[in-house]
Every structure is written in C-alpha cells, then in structure tokens.
C-alpha cells in the first residue's frame, strides 16, 4: 500500500514528496520504526547538488535521509530486545551477514553494505531507501534503544556522533592526548566532543568560520579554537601551548590535510575522517621523517552507536543537561516534514550547522 510519505531525490536539483510502499515484516527479526526526527547530512547535500561524491553516484531516484530516530510500531516474532513504543536510534547501514568484513568484525567495510540514502556501488544491486519517510524497516540489531530521558532529537544526533566515536576509537584517543580537529562542521564538533569525553587534555578545533568556532567553545565541545584564516600554523601551535599528538581531519580540504601533518608532533597519529573531492597532495617526506601513523576512518562499526548513546546518556541526569557538553545546542534549525525541501535548500546554502526535520506525522 502506497501510504509511506517520503522525501525523494529524483535527480540533481530535483526533490519531491512521494507516497511509496509501506514496509512490512518479512523476517522474524525485522522491526518497523515510525521515523520522528531526521538530521540533514553533508552527503545528502552532495547528492542533491552534485549527484554524489567519491565512488557513490546517484543512478536512480532514492529516498533521502540517514540520521534518524523514531518509535517502534511493529516487531517480528523473534525480536527480543525491543518492543512497540520503544524510542530508538536507527543505524542506517546493514552489511551482508556472509561477508568477510562482517565476520571479521569490520562490517562498515562490507562491500555489499546497504546504506540508507546511498546508491549501491553495483547499479543493479539492491536499492537503499533513506529514512526520511514515515515508516522505515530495520533489522533488530541495527537499532539502539534510547533511554527514556533522552529526546528523539538527541537520537538523531547519534549518527554523526558515532562517526566521531569511530574515529577516536580508530586513533586510540585516550587520557592525556593533545588533539587538533580540522573542520567545525557537525562531525568535526562531535568528534572534538568525543575526544574530550575519551580523556584528551586539550582539544583545539580549527576552521575559517568564526561563528562555528564560537559555537565549539559555547557548547563546551573544545578547550581551544583557532581561525586558520587569521593566523599561521606556528601561531596555532603557540595558542595550543604545544604540538598535538593526535589530529582528527574532518574537513576533507587538502590544505587542512597538509596542515595536520605539519602541526603534529613526531610519533603522532593522524586520523582522516573527512572526504575529499578527489586526490590530495600529501607531505609524505615530513610524514615519514616524523614517523607519523595514518588511519582511515569510515562511518562506524561494532558498538559505536551504543557508545554514542552512552556518551549522550552520561551527559544527562534526571532528564536535565549537566554542565557538560551541550549536544542539543548543535541544532540550529528545525523544520516540519512539509517544509523539508526548504530545509535542504537552507543547508545547501550553508546557512545551518545542524538541521532537524520532524516526522512525517
């Protein structure tokens, strides 16, 4: 039955509301979620404006959205961990249960991953509907229950937060580390906040937009900020008080990649999180002579979503935000589902940090 109201990207610059088939339980561990909150991600905007990024190209219309939370409305007969009425964060990528990547505990690297609102690399492969719809179907084990006192808006932030969690785990961020994060978008700010929660002594966020740097301090997601448009790398190091031993590169900009290598202390760790638009020039000689370690970080893996929820939960007591990190402050705009196209245009124009869409109801 075509009662599943959805937001569909038909082609570049063409988004429309459509009523599609409502998903049904087909496997005993399936869960149907009524989507309540969805964040707009930079990858959504890449598909909307450019038809994709990297290897992923829009080859047919697709439902948008992958940063979502909602309420369980139906469960398969073997679902044990969830029940109707539970609030959940939706992990949007489901791997093949038969791949080597899945079996080895690296399911985010599965070549057969079906990821919401992302075209399959095989043009003839299965479609990957996004979460900007009324009803979304997911396997039980790719839903994480939210504590009662955590809002569904926070649930929608778990997806970008988990990207930061995965990057900090990959780079073994720990107590006493000195961290510099390049890029003050949502992922960069949430990666910085995660580094703080993991015990980093100093966390500096670097960007060229002053309002984003002010937000990093106001929301307590960083201990230091630096506007790279107004100062040199030496001045950045002086502001921090020492060279960092960890860089989280979350911008994908070539100049930031190069700067990250230059500022790192010898023996430091460089974690690449942001996507570039193409090959980037890399200071390999300095990288080698400093004996740096380079890590790639892609989406999130086992327990990253649960860790993200735990980080949010640790920030709250009796439903109130502690005097810690203000995660909800990252949300700068909220839209009803009927105004979702306007929301996408706002984010595309660079006028929002994190935009959340309600419903549809």
Any domain includes 76: yes
Pair 14, 70 in one domain? yes
User: If DSSP codes are grouped into helix, strand and coil, which group holds residue 88?
Assistant: strand
- Tokens coding 191: 């990666």
Any domain includes 167: no
- Tokens coding 153: 């808006």
Q: Cα(108)–Cα(162) distance, rounded to whole angstroms? A: 12
Pair 224, 149 in one domain? no
Which residue in 219, 216, 230, 232 sits closest to 181, CA to CA? 216
Q: Which of 296, 313, 333 is the last residue before a domain boundary? A: 296
Pair 147, 32 in one domain? yes
Q: Which of 253, 273, 296 is the last residue before a domain boundary? A: 296
- Determine contact, residues 353/215, Cβ cutoff 8 Å: yes
Read off the CATH number of the domain in which 315 is found.
3.90.180.10
Any domain includes 166: no
Any domain includes 337: yes
The string of pLDDT tens digits covering residues 73-106 is: 999 999 999 999 999 999 999 999 999 999 999 9
Pair 92, 178 in one domain? no
The string of pLDDT tens digits covering residues 116-145 is: 999 876 555 555 789 999 999 999 999 999
Pair 288, 305 in one domain? no
User: If DSSP codes are grouped into helix, strand and coil, which group holds residue 48?
Assistant: helix
Segments forming the whole domain that contains residue 146: 4-161+300-358
- What residues contact residue 296 under an 8 Å CB cut-off, 6+ apart? 170, 272
In sequence order, what DSSP letters do the residues of 119-186 get, joined into one string? --SSTTS-----S-BSEEEEEGGGEEEPPTTS-HHHHHHHHHHHHHHHHHHHTT--TT-EEEEE--SH
Any domain includes 133: yes
Q: Which of 257, 278, 296 is the last residue before a domain boundary? A: 296
Pair 17, 145 in one domain? yes
- Determine contact, residues 153/330, Cβ cutoff 8 Å: no
Pair 54, 191 in one domain? no
- What residues contact residue 66 under an 8 Å CB cut-off, 6+ apart? 41, 43, 44, 92, 115, 116, 117, 118, 130, 131, 159
Read off the CATH number of the domain in which 284 is found.
3.40.50.720
- Determine contact, residues 325/347, Cβ cutoff 8 Å: no
What confidence tier does 309 reach under pLDDT thresholds 50, 70, 90? very high
Q: Cα(53)–Cα(45) distance, rounded to whole angstroms? A: 10
- Determine contact, residues 273/191, Cβ cutoff 8 Å: yes
Pair 333, 278 in one domain? no
The H or E element that residue 206 is part of is strand 202-207
C-alpha 168, offset from chain centre: 13
**Strand ranges inside 264-353, DSSP E:** 269-272, 293-296, 316-317, 320-321, 331-335
The string of pLDDT tens digits covering residues 314-358 is: 988 766 677 689 999 999 999 999 999 999 999 999 999 999 999
Pair 242, 334 in one domain? no
Pair 145, 176 in one domain? no
- Determine contact, residues 166/299, Cβ cutoff 8 Å: yes
| pLDDT of 189 strictly over 70 | yes
The H or E element that residue 44 is part of is helix 42-50
Pair 199, 78 in one domain? no
What's the pLDDT at 185?
A: 96
Q: What are phi and psi of 32, to 5 degrees?
A: -100, 125
| pLDDT of 293 strictly over 90 | yes
- Determine contact, residues 28/76, Cβ cutoff 8 Å: yes
Q: What is the mean pLDDT of the chain?
A: 95
Number of structural domains, the chain?
Answer: 2
Q: Cα(214)–Cα(179) distance, rounded to whole angstroms? A: 18
Any domain includes 187: yes
Any domain includes 232: yes
Pair 88, 117 in one domain? yes
What's the pLDDT at 203?
A: 98
Average pLDDT (182-205) is 98
Q: Cα(319)–Cα(66) distance, rounded to whole angstroms? A: 26
């Amino acid at each position: 039955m075509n009662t599943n109201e959805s937001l569909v990207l038909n082609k570049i610059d063409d988004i429309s509301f459509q009523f599609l088939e409502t998903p049904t339980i087909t496997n005993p561990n399936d869960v149907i979620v009524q989507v309540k909150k969805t964040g707009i991600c930079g990858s959504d905007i890449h598909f909307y404006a450019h038809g994709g990024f990297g290897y992923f190209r829009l080859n047919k219309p697709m439902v948008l959205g992958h940063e979502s939370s909602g309420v369980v409305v139906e469960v398969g007969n073997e679902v044990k961990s969830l029940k109707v009425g539970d609030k959940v964060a939706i992990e949007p990528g489901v791997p093949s249960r038969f791949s080597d990547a899945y079996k080895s505990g690296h399911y985010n690297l599965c070549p057969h991953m079906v990821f919401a609102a992302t075209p399959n690399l095989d043009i003839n492969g299965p479609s990957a509907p996004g979460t900007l719809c009324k009803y979304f179907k997911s396997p039980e084990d790719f839903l994480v229950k939210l504590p009662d006192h955590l809002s569904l808006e926070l649930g929608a932030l778990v997806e970008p937060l988990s990207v930061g969690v995965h990057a900090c785990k990959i780079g073994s961020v720990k107590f006493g580390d000195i961290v510099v994060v390049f890029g003050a978008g949502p992922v960069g700010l949430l990666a910085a906040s995660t580094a703080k929660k993991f015990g980093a002594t100093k966390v500096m966020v670097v960007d060229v937009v002053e309002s984003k740097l002010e937000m990093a301090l106001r929301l307590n997601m960083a201990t230091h900020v630096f506007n790279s448009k107004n100062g040199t790398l030496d001045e950045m190091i002086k502001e921090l008080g020492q060279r960092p031993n960890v860089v989280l590169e979350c911008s994908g900009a070539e100049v930031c990649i190069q700067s990250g290598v230059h500022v790192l202390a010898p023996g430091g760790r460089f974690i690449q999180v942001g996507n570039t638009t193409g090959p980037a020039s890399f200071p390999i000689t300095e990288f080698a002579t400093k004996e740096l370690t380079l890590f790639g970080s892609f989406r999130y893996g086992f327990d990253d979503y649960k860790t993200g929820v735990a980080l949010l939960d640790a920030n709250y007591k009796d439903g109130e935000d502690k005097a810690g990190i203000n995660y909800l402050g990252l949300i700068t705009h909220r839209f009803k589902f009927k105004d979702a196209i306007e929301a996408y245009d706002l984010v595309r124009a660079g006028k929002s940090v994190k935009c959340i869409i309600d419903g549809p109801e």
